[in-house]
Amino acid sequence: MRAGKNSLKPIKMSVASKTIKNDCLKYDVFTKWYLVFFQGAKLQNNCELCITIEKKVLLLRTLILVNMIDYYKTLGVEKTATQEEIKKAYRKLARKYHPDMNPNDKTAEQKFKEINEANEVLSNPENRAKYDKYGEHWQYGEEYEKAQQQQRARGGGFGGFGGFEGFEGFSGGNYSNEDYSDFFKDMFGGRAGGFGRGYSSASGKFKGQDLYADMSLPLREVATTQQRTFTVNGKNIRITVPAGVYEGLQIKLKGHGQEGYNGGPNGDLYITFHIEPDAQFERNGNDLKTTVNIDLYTAMLGGEVQIDTLSGKVKMKVAPETQNGTTVRLKGKGFPVYKEKDSFGDLFVTYQVQLPKHLTEKQKELFEQLKNS
């Protein structure tokens, strides 16, 4: 890494001493930003540069406080809320503010967008952890730390900045302004000529924020490949839903997230599938379970019964003296295995024997004979 004449020097400052009384020329502009913004130092100088820095620090802190979005508050949950509590809160609010329930209500529409944004972050444990660490703009914080790691791997970098967590102090070495991204320089005002010094521009490209969406589908529909269209950021996206998708499955659509920062790549879109329960079939992995009623006579004497499957009706033999609750298996009549061609689970059929009602006198006599035989 190059070391220019404007390179930063390591600064040691006691916690008790929060005032810089020496000549302002002793410190590089980025060092002053660090001391004022992150350590609360006061620049006891009357030079225009020092006054400008302190004013911008005050403005920046105010903007951060005003613009910070509290996703937990948006969903009405505590920061210690479980994933189940977050999910429950989101569904309740989404129903309340859904555009279909509030036609032509711009306030409800905006609230619905805020609820979805909060859920996209907090419902994903990994992104929730990043949000807790970086705040609303966690995606940029993560990219910034990646840039730090890359710089260190090349033998230098951002020194002891330590990411967005505390900026504990410079660890030494020479740091030219070229080491700072445009994102950093835009935030701290270090543009070319901004403080009377010549600074070169770095790329500062950041990937856009990833987006998260939920899609609910009836169980019977996902037994075959489906096409679905939905809208993200005003754009219609058509996707193929493969047969056999299961509850909680998440797929990634590359480049369909938020636009990148400063020419960086777009983020990705992650879709999580939810399978709606079916009145007849219960899914267990790739197997299905169902219950079929048979009469007492078929159960005792044997016979045939018609069974519903996902691919249509089939006839099945019932063995004599079949007991109530007996379960039989139909191999290969279950759910298609996700991304495995011509592979299916099994269908488990449980017989429920129905006892006759309103017996005739003759039938009663026959049962009495069976009883006494």
CA 109 to chain centroid, in Å, comes to 21
Alpha-carbon span 237 to 213, nearest angstrom: 12
Answer for the pair 121, 128: CB distance below 8 angstroms, yes or no: yes
Helix/strand/coil for 51: helix
User: What CA–CA distance (Å, rounded) separates 20 from 26?
Assistant: 10
For residue 335 the two structure tokens come to 């759910």
Q: What pLDDT, on the 0 to 100 scale, is given for residue 52? A: 67
Domains of the chain: 19-68+136-188 (no CATH), 71-132 (1.10.287.110), 211-276 (2.60.260.20), 282-372 (2.60.260.20)
pLDDT tens-digit series, residues 41-88:
665 556 666 666 666 666 565 555 445 578 898 999 998 999 999 999
pLDDT tens for residues 200-232?
A: 334 456 777 788 888 899 999 999 999 988 877
- Put simply, whether the predicted model's pTM sits higher than 0.85 gets the answer no
Residue with tokens 């404007």: 6
Q: What is the pLDDT of residues 96-150, one digit of tens each?
A: 888 777 888 888 888 888 888 888 888 888 888 877 775 555 455 555 455 555 5
